[in-house]
Chain A
Amino acid sequence: MGDCRLHRIIPPKIAQKIMDLIFWASGIITLLILLMVIGYVFYKGLPVINLEFLFTDPMDSGKAGGIFPMIVSSLYVTFIAVLVSAPIGVGAALYLAEYAGENRTVRLIRFGAETLSSIPSIIFGLFGLAFFVIYLRMGWSVLSGGLTLALMALPTILAASEVSIESINKSYAQGSLALGATKWQTVSKVVIPAALPGITTGIILGMARAIAEAAAILYTVGAALITPISLLDPARPLPLHLYILATEGISLDNAWGTAAVLVILILIITVTTNTLVDRYRKQMMGR
């Protein structure tokens, strides 16, 4: 209603100019806000980062020294998370996209995955504590943390893989079946290779979610300052280290350094996925 009145007072050409201005302003404001965050983290954090910071142990509970054990912890828990969630997620995506028809079980599975992706990370943390740490007696360990993160990464990997499998031209599979290949031969030799870039992107996105997470591992991975070796060792991944340094006021410099390392990791992941997606798209168009 308000629009109609506005119409009569402001000529359409002028309204167009005003709105263009508003759109440009909001685009630029958003860009500025977002760049300010990245820029400030780099401004404060990059000077802290050097080889010594990356490759030595923290000293004096993180006041000085480096973050080597935290980098190892982050890679370790993320590796476990992906190792567990990727096969399950891709398998589920294959089932949903290639085997299942549209029935109640499938709708239930989709609802389950959707719900899983919207559960707050701290709830995963609570579950990890009650189930992995206490009930299965894994204690505060890389294993408990990694498995908790696997649950969080699962819906991301599933959704991305399913989309990429479904977007494959159906004639590929039909051609293979027509040549007398069985369903699994078709899936493993035709469908999976064609969907691989998309599946890889999904796995990288799941990895990004795992590497950035802190709340879910707050009460599952422990907070040890030493480099974890065995699966049952406690650890302290980077986001958790940053949280502890900042909230306990241990060392702001090292906190900025840790934050910058995290942002760089995410940047690398984003650039990698973008390159993959681009190449994939070009490949698909080439065909």
Chain B
Amino acid sequence: MSRWNEEFFIEKGLLLTAVSSIIIITLIIVFIFKEGLPAIQSYGFINFIFGMDWAPSSGQYGVFPMIIGSLGITALSLLMAVPLGILCAIFLAEVAPARMRKILNPTIQTLAGIPSVVYGFFGLILLVPFMRIHFGGTGFSMFTASIILTIMILPIIVSVSEDAIRSIPQEYKEASLALGATHWQTIKNVIFPAAIPGVITSVILGMGRAIGETLAIIMVAGNVVQIPGSIMDPVRALTSNIAIEMGYATGIHYNALFATGIVLIFMIIILLVLANYLHYKKKVTVGGGYL
């Protein structure tokens, strides 16, 4: 009887730990919304999302320029990191000799773990002056921020894509080579198409990290609240807005920063839904079309 009891309590205890992630997510959403909604209610949903001015001292809380800022920095860094990352992943999985892999893999792992503030600091000291000298302006810009983000998300894209490519059954490759295809034809027509779901996952992970990155962006993006006219203009991301102003915010300003967090949560949810959808869809196409 006591043994049965022990088994029962242990199973329920483990269930409790398993349910904790749902409890935590719920708590996070409840608390962010509880603090953020008053600002959206009093300022108006449309005004808040599509408002062009953010001036807490005069009661203006429009986050639209920062939504554009976040999306702009993210898109630009993906534009650089995705092609380079995928090529590098194919290189590691298919082309590189074992010795080269032995150097590159631990390096990439280390870089994935390096704190984002280190990247931000690197950008602030090296990249910002470089941009100032070669492209004019202050050097703090959307472009500078995207370069730093590119370096930060490269390790994720490379390692996850490499895993995806490596997990393709060897038989596919051998069959293609046996038919007389060159290695490149095999990569292009067999290996890469089969690895696409994993590659998409890597891009989405990179995108998530780019949208969520905070302090590194603050250090190099200039943080001016404006819709950038060019990629060389300074911008402020949603995340930066929270981190910069939370230190001294009170009253409705404090709530408006939590409301900025709500916008951020929605962007991540959209990304998650999109990721699940794309992953599923691609898997089906690959299953039916190529293999």
Contact with A along B12-33 (1 / 0, CB 8 A): 0111111111101101100110
**A35 at the A/B interface (Cβ < 8 Å)?**
yes
**B79 at the A/B interface (Cβ < 8 Å)?**
no
**Shortest distance between the CB of B32 and any CB in chain A (Å):** 6
Known: A37-B119, A242-B118. A208 touches B113 (CB 8 A): yes
In the complex the two chains form, is B115's CB within 8 Å of A123's CB?
A: no
Known: A24-B91, A115-B272. A109 touches B32 (CB 8 A): no
In the complex the two chains form, is B218's CB within 8 Å of A247's CB?
A: yes
Tell me the residues in window 224-253 of chain A with beta carbons closer than 8 Å to chain B beta carbons.
238-240, 242-243, 246-247, 252
**Shortest distance between the CB of A85 and any CB in chain B (Å):** 10
In the complex the two chains form, is B268's CB within 8 Å of A118's CB?
A: yes
Q: Quick one: which of A33, A127, A212, A271 contacts B32, CB cutoff 8 A?
A: A127
**A27 at the A/B interface (Cβ < 8 Å)?**
yes
**Shortest distance between the CB of B194 and any CB in chain A (Å):** 16
**A55 at the A/B interface (Cβ < 8 Å)?**
no
Identify the stretch in A46-54, A59-67, A214-222 within 8 Å (CB) of chain B at 4 or more residues: A214-222
Q: Which residue, A29, A127, A212, has most C-beta atoms of chain B within 10 A?
A: A127
In the complex the two chains form, is A119's CB within 8 Å of B265's CB?
A: yes
Contacts of B252 in A (CB 8 A): none
In the complex the two chains form, is B111's CB within 8 Å of A38's CB?
A: yes
In the complex the two chains form, is A91's CB within 8 Å of B184's CB?
A: no
How would you classify the secondary structure of chain B's contact residues: helix, strand, loop or mixed? Answer: helix
Q: Quick one: which of A40, A120, A155 contacts B239, CB cutoff 8 A?
A: A120
Known: A37-B114, A91-B17, A158-B21. A118 touches B208 (CB 8 A): yes
In the complex the two chains form, is B115's CB within 8 Å of A246's CB?
A: no
In the complex the two chains form, is A119's CB within 8 Å of B268's CB?
A: yes
Known: A99-B14, A242-B117. A38 touches B110 (CB 8 A): yes
**A87 at the A/B interface (Cβ < 8 Å)?**
yes
In the complex the two chains form, is A92's CB within 8 Å of B20's CB?
A: yes
**B285 at the A/B interface (Cβ < 8 Å)?**
no
**Shortest distance between the CB of A273 and any CB in chain B (Å):** 8
In the complex the two chains form, is B32's CB within 8 Å of A130's CB?
A: yes
Q: Quick one: which of A3, A34, A113, A238 contacts B155, CB cutoff 8 A?
A: A34
**B175 at the A/B interface (Cβ < 8 Å)?**
no
Q: Which residue, B109, B119, B218, has most C-beta atoms of chain A within 10 A?
A: B109
Bound state CA distance, A269 and B85, in angstroms?
24
Bound state CA distance, A254 and B180, in angstroms?
59
Q: Nearest residue in B to A25 (C-beta to C-beta)?
A: B87
In the complex the two chains form, is A154's CB within 8 Å of B24's CB?
A: yes
Q: Nearest residue in B to A252 (C-beta to C-beta)?
A: B125
**A16 at the A/B interface (Cβ < 8 Å)?**
yes
Contacts of A119 in B (CB 8 A): 28, 212, 265, 268
Contacts of A31 in B (CB 8 A): 103-104, 107
Q: Nearest residue in A to B211 (C-beta to C-beta)?
A: A120
Contact with B along A120-154 (1 / 0, CB 8 A): 11111111011100010000000000000001001
Residues of chain B at interface, number, CB under 8 A: 88
In the complex the two chains form, is B7's CB within 8 Å of A274's CB?
A: no
**B126 at the A/B interface (Cβ < 8 Å)?**
yes
Q: Nearest residue in B to A120 (C-beta to C-beta)?
A: B212
In the complex the two chains form, is B22's CB within 8 Å of A126's CB?
A: no
Known: A27-B92, A122-B261. A214 touches B117 (CB 8 A): yes
In the complex the two chains form, is A246's CB within 8 Å of B219's CB?
A: yes
In the complex the two chains form, is A259's CB within 8 Å of B11's CB?
A: no
Q: Quick one: which of A23, A94, A123 contacts B95, CB cutoff 8 A?
A: A23
In the complex the two chains form, is A3's CB within 8 Å of B22's CB?
A: no
**B191 at the A/B interface (Cβ < 8 Å)?**
no
Identify the stretch in B46-54, B55-63, B227-235, B242-250 within 8 Å (CB) of chain A at 4 or more residues: B242-250
Contact with B along A251-272 (1 / 0, CB 8 A): 0100100010011001101110
Bound state CA distance, A121 and B264, in angstroms?
11
Q: Quick one: which of B88, B110, B182, B215 contacts A214, CB cutoff 8 A?
A: B215
Known: A13-B182, A38-B110, A130-B35. A112 touches B25 (CB 8 A): yes
**Shortest distance between the CB of A158 and any CB in chain B (Å):** 7
**B39 at the A/B interface (Cβ < 8 Å)?**
no
Bound state CA distance, A127 and B28, in angstroms?
6
In the complex the two chains form, is B87's CB within 8 Å of A23's CB?
A: yes
Contacts of B69 in A (CB 8 A): none
Contact with A along B263-288 (1 / 0, CB 8 A): 01100110110000000000000000
Q: Quick one: which of B16, B104, B264 contacts A27, CB cutoff 8 A?
A: B104
Interface residues of B (CB under 8 A from A): 3, 6-7, 10-11, 13-22, 24-25, 27-28, 31-32, 34-35, 84-85, 87-88, 90-92, 94-96, 100, 103-104, 106-111, 113-122, 124-126, 151, 154-155, 158, 181-185, 187-188, 208, 211-215, 218-219, 239, 242-243, 246-247, 257-258, 261, 264-265, 268-269, 271-272
Cross-chain pairs A/B with CB under 8 angstroms, 11 sampled: A20-B184, A35-B107, A100-B15, A112-B22, A112-B24, A116-B21, A118-B212, A131-B31, A214-B115, A266-B113, A271-B106
Known pairs A123-B264, A151-B24. 7 more at Cβ < 8 A? Answer: A30-B84, A38-B110, A123-B28, A214-B115, A215-B239, A243-B121, A263-B110
